[in-house]
Structure formats: C-alpha cells, structure tokens
Structure 1
Amino acid sequence: MSKLNFKPLADRVLVEPAAAEEKTASGIIIPDTAKEKPQRGEIVAVGTGKKDEPFNVKVGDNVLYSKYAGQEITIEGREFLIMKESDILGIV
C-alpha cells in the first residue's frame, strides 16, 4: 500500500472498508445487487485526537464500525470512509 497524502483532523480516522462478501458460508454466490455494505475495515490514518482523550485505535487495526458510520470519500482512486473514533464499535 502506498502512503496516502491525507491526514484526518482531531478525533477522526480514515478507514479502508473490507471487500463485500462474494459468497455465503454455504457457498451461494451473492449478486452485486444483494451485497451489503461492509461494516469492517482497516484504519489507514488517524488524526491528532482530542486534548484530553487519547486514541484507542492505531494505523493497521482492523475494526468494526456502525452500519451508517462515516462519510465516503475517494482519494487517489481508492474508496475510504472518514469517521469519528466514537463510530468504531471495536477492534477485531
């Protein structure tokens, strides 16, 4: 992965969403129209944090986040989500 020219501000993080599932556990192929938006991804950049609240996540962590969390953005032709750390539910 190349270094991105983007730095989130304050308590925001930049997440690269995981790819949507192609098959179910039983092997059924999921068509594009039925794929759900992933709720899992990898943190690729973190902001500076708030003054009295250090970050609980770091670059490289795989996280779960709420279904409608973040703002979708495109940087250097790749899709990312930018969200507040509080939208992250946990580290996987």
Structure 2
Amino acid sequence: KVFKKFLPLLDRVLVERVAQETVTKGGIVLPEKSQGKVLEAVVVAVGGGFKGKDGEIRSIDVNIGEKVLLPEYGGTKVVLEDKEYYLFRDSDILGKYLP
C-alpha cells in the first residue's frame, strides 16, 4: 500500500479526510456552498513520537484506523498515488471518536 512508501516523522500524523455527505437523510441534495469543510478523518500512518523536554520519547496519542476530529484550518496536503492526504502534528488533532 501507499503507506509503506511514506512514513510521517516525529509527532506527525497522516490522515485521510472522511467523504463529505452531499445528500441529507431525507434525500435532499446539498449544494456545494452549503457543505462545510470536512473535519473528520481516519488516521492512516503515524510517526514514531517526539522527544519531550525531559528527554523521554513521547508516543503519538492516536493509532492507525482511528477516526479523529481535525481543526478547521491547518495541516499539509500530501498527494500520494493520486489521493489526497493531510499531515498534522499530533498536538493539532482535536480529539478522537470512541468506538
């Protein structure tokens, strides 16, 4: 897979945004202007962690496959094999959804 060719470094997390809903549950098609920015994503790769002020290695708070909440702005777009992914620092991720 593409993630065997790309590994985030340090405290970075690679995510794939969740597809945006374009039709309501009632069947109404939403125009593009009324669709908000997608703030949910699935973690596809994580870095190895980062060194804290005490010199200890801190692990990443999210794991591959978890669904997370992203900030409205930020992240670095990365295109791998014609698909868009985004790189965020672990500390920029707002939270994760529990199963």
Aligned to 2:10: 10
Return the TM-score normalized by structure 1.
0.87
Consecutive unaligned residues of structure 1, counting only runs of 5 or more, are none
Partner residue, 2:84? 79
Matches of 1:41 and 1:78, distance apart in 2: 14
Normalising to structure 2: TM-score of the pair?
Answer: 0.81
* CA contact 2:2–2:81 (8 Å) conserved in 1: no
Aligned residue in 2 for 1:69: 74
Please, what is the CA RMSD of the aligned residues?
A: 1.5
Q: How does 1:1-92 map to 2 (within 5 A)?
A: 2-4=1-3, 5-51=5-51, 52=56, 53-92=58-97
Aligned length: 91
Q: What is the CA deviation profile of residues 12-46 of structure 1, one whole-angstrom value per residue up to 9, with x for unaligned ones?
A: 00000001121235442112343222000100000
Which one has the largest radius of gyration?
2
Q: After TM superposition, which residue ranges in structure 1, 4 or more long, deviate above 6 angstroms?
A: none
Q: Deviation string for 1:57-83 (max 9, x for gaps)?
A: 111111001111311121111011101
Identity of aligned residues (%): 38
Specify the code of the residue in structure 1 equivalent to 2:70.
Y
